[in-house]
Chains A and B, each alone.
Chain A
Amino acid sequence: MAGTNPKKRRPSSAAQKRPAPSKQKISSGSSVFHKQILLLALAFVLLVGYFSIGYTREWFSSKILTCWDEFKDQKNKMSPEERLTARFGNNYTISKLLADFLKKRGQGNKLILMPPNDYLTQNKIQYKVPEPAIFYYFTGLKTVWANSEEAHKANWYVSTANNGQMLVDSVMNQKQLDSVINKFRKYKISL
């Protein structure tokens, strides 16, 4: 561990390069070229060998080749919305739909109570509710989850209708809000 004694100072790493080949022994250009071709063949063997085994092969085909295939498709879909949808899927598109709906209902301060994921899953709705910070990033709207102390400040809520669709409604009174919060709190609330 640690360094060498200054009295036995060694040359710096830059100076500690491999020894330069002796001039008397330097082979002709063509000989060097032939040897380099052999090294090229060895390079191929090393690469093909390493990238043909188990996890490296899997990584190459599942990541690199898949990314390449996706690239060929992605380069034709350049709008930010397409890219956001490609990355976040339903989580983004449904959040945006909810936000568009709510923005049409006026510009006032809105705090939306969001349902737990388990509740939505039980109602066969494929939407993973983004946590409030991410929902704000997607839409500019503030949300709150039912397990928060701030849940009782919500003035809108998202729930489900009987036909398996999402329902967005304003809070009419505190009793109604408490009932929705209690309904949501029966489910596990987590990310």
Chain B
Amino acid sequence: MTSFILLLLITILQFISGMGILSLFRITLQPILQIALSILLGIAFFSIVPFVMQLFYVPLTGQNVFICLVAGALLLNSNFKHVLTSYSSLVKNFKIGIRIYEIPFLLLIAFAVFLSVWRCFYLPPTPRDLLSGPEVIAEYAVKEKTLINSVFTVNLETTNNQFKPAYITSLQIIYKYIGFQFGQLWLSTVFICFILFLYHALNQKIHRLITGFLLCAFIAIPELYAYTIMALFDYSNAVFLFLAFYFLFEFFQRHLSGYLLFSGFLMAIATYIRSETLVLACLIVPIIIIYFLRNKKPVINIISGILIFVLPAAVFYWISVPFYIDHYLPVTYNVEGTINQHIGHVGELWDRFKLMNTKLIFSETGLSYYGYFIYLFLAAFVLELIVKRKFTAQGRNWLAAVFVVYFGLALLGWLLPLFDLDSTTRRGALKLFPLMLFFFQGSQLMISLSNRISRWEYSKKLVKS
């Protein structure tokens, strides 16, 4: 019971930290979006604290970790005036309204969420990539109070998972300290907050009936749901990559630099979770350049825009991978050695792209991994193309995002031989689905259908006199 009270307190502390981060970037959203996003940011912040403590050789005792978490949360909220305004606006605007026709969708989502949370709590970490790296390091970090512990004296020839960034290790340490032997419940928090965020963000433009259906279809993507139960890097990576895109596109609409900065920060978090996301960050650069060119901005703005977006990710990558491995870990790892040594063979990139499509995405296996969601997206895309013959700015943005990740997965598979098709690319494809989901939000067809339903729902026929 104590553990569950501590879990609640931890979640509140995550929310407070996240609110602080949002206030630093001057981001204000609708209340539920703000709450969900704050907790997600809080989790990201929590995942950094034990790692930074290790960088300064602070012993990872329970007491030290929690003092640092609280101190960090207070520091993030040091701009009291702005933070207080955020809280008062949150309380003033907070309201929950559920329509009767949302209930079937919400019940199904709640049922799926409950089972996911239960299994996260009940079962120990499962994936080999977690057990042989972050989990075993976290387990012994709690015993030995350091990330550089006796695990590194074990024969580690069969794995390279000890070199993965500290995102999961740090979170596992915190959740083990509050009494959950198998940790993992941070993943449930990520899952719930992400679903809340998606539901309310989609509701801003499309009718709740459509949102409910789409979100149920989204939750029923077998592979995506599986990774809400099995803690690994990919689900969190997909969440923060999606958020980076979401706020980048908000920047495109609002033209406020705070949104670009925030998007760069989210991209840095996504890179901290999975280091190869840095490649995707670079692939997004052309989209940013097009935005600046269309708005006739000078070259200096273009350069600074690119740097704001890519630099934080590059710094997070450098600290969490090469710097940490070279200067802290007692074993060596040749990061450059993981890159394709035959980079001139560009034909292999095409082969990889073909293989990804035929063996993974558009195959019987693909259907068992991803269900029908890709086909729902393709149907919406084709209908939009045939009926409307053009896309909205938002629709185009999300299409570009899907393309970047889709092509990026093939590129990563070609660039990094360890990025295999059957497991890494399969899980990497999870990043596509939130982006596909938000294409629906930018679809003119969906918006006009939503408007029709809303008008019908609330209006009556005018009676001729």
Interface set of A (CB-CB < 8 Å, partner B): 1-6, 9-10, 12-14, 16-19, 21-22, 25-28, 31-33, 35-37, 39-40, 42-44, 46-47, 50-51, 53-56, 58-60, 63-64, 67-68, 71, 74, 80, 83-84, 86-88, 131-134, 136-137, 142-145, 148, 150, 191
Contact = CB atoms under 8 A, between A and B. Distances in A.
9 contacts: A16-B205, A18-B447, A21-B457, A22-B459, A43-B104, A47-B108, A50-B372, A80-B182, A83-B182
A3 B216 contact: no
B136 A134 contact: yes
Contacts of B122: 74, 83
A22 B295 CA distance: 36
Given A25-B458, A87-B124, A131-B158, A43 B209 contact: yes
Q: Interface majority SS on B: helix, strand, loop or mixed?
A: helix
B56 interface: no
B105 to A, nearest CB: 6
Contacts of A32: 457-458
Nearest to A153: B155
Given A18-B205, A35-B456, A55 B155 contact: no
B458 A3 contact: no
Given A47-B213, A134-B128, A3 B222 contact: no
Given A3-B393, A5-B295, A63-B222, A133 B154 contact: yes
B131 A26 contact: no
Which among A36, A40, A131, A144 has the highest number of chain B CB atoms within 10 Å? Answer: A131
Nearest to A5: B295
Contacts of B249: 3
Interface string B102-134: 111100100110010011001110101001110
A133 B290 CA distance: 48
Contacts of B358: none
B63 interface: no
A187 B103 CA distance: 58
Contacts of B29: 14
B111 A6 contact: no
Given A39-B209, A43-B101, 4 more contacts: A40-B100, A46-B209, A59-B225, A86-B123
A148 B290 CA distance: 52
A39 B371 contact: no
Contact of A37 (B100, B201, B295): B100
B181 interface: yes
B372 A53 contact: yes
A173 to B, nearest CB: 22
Nearest to A191: B158
A83 B183 CA distance: 13
Contacts of A56: 217, 220, 371-372
A182 B156 CA distance: 21
Contacts of B252: 2-4
Given A43-B104, A84-B124, A51 B220 contact: yes
